[in-house]
Amino acid sequence: GQNIDQPTEMTATEGAIVQINCTYQTSGFNGLFWYQQHAGEAPTFLSYNVLDGLEEKGRFSSFLSRSKGYSYLLLKELQMKDSASYLCAVITPGADSNYQLIWGAGTKLIIKP
């Protein structure tokens, strides 16, 4: 079966660094997304990884290891506004030459002063 695991909830301190992990077991891999979703709002795109390594974008970085079925989102210099849920999603081949997007349940990140 297809499965994506993320921690349910994490807590971190303002100004610190936090790493949110995502592990996946899927029948094939064609890319991985990270989205941010503030409470009561729409998910917004953060990053896309398809090759191994680290992609840096300002305070946020995303890492991928395809051999380990593992990704993480690294948030630096945490701000109160980073309190949100972070969703991991994996693209896998589906039936009939289509693709499917498998989503994790999300990690709720709580930032404390």
Partner 1 sequence: ETGVTQTPRHLVMGMTNKKSLKCEQHLGHNAMYWYKQSAKKPLELMFVYNFKEQTENNSVPSRFSPECPNSSHLFLHLHTLQPEDSALYLCASSQAVAGLNYEQYFGPGTRLTVT
Residue among 52 and 77 whose Cβ is closer to partner 1: 52
- How far is Cα 54 from Cα 22, in angstroms, rounded to an integer? 14
For CA atoms 25, 104, 58, 112, the dihedral sign is: negative
CB of 43 to partner 1, least distance (A): 5
12 binds partner 1 (CB under 8 A): no
Dihedral (C-alpha) 108, 25, 44, 36: value to the nearest 10 degrees? 20
Measured from the Cβ of residue 51, the count of other Cβ atoms closer than 10 Å reads 8
Residue among 46 and 74 whose Cβ is closer to partner 1: 46
Quick one: which segment of 19-27, 52-60, 76-84, 104-112 binds partner 1 (CB under 8 A)?
104-112
Q: Identify the residue among 1, 80, 81, 98 touching partner 1 (CB under 8 A).
A: 98
Phi and psi angles of residue 107, each rounded to the nearest 5 degrees, phi first: -115, 120
Structure token pair of residue 102: 């498998």
Structure token pair of residue 21: 């992990």
87 binds partner 1 (CB under 8 A): yes
* Binders in 29-68 for partner 1, by CB under 8 A: 30-31, 33, 41-45, 48, 50
Could you list the residues that contact partner 1 (CB under 8 A)? 4, 8, 30-31, 33, 41-45, 48, 50, 87, 89, 91, 98-106
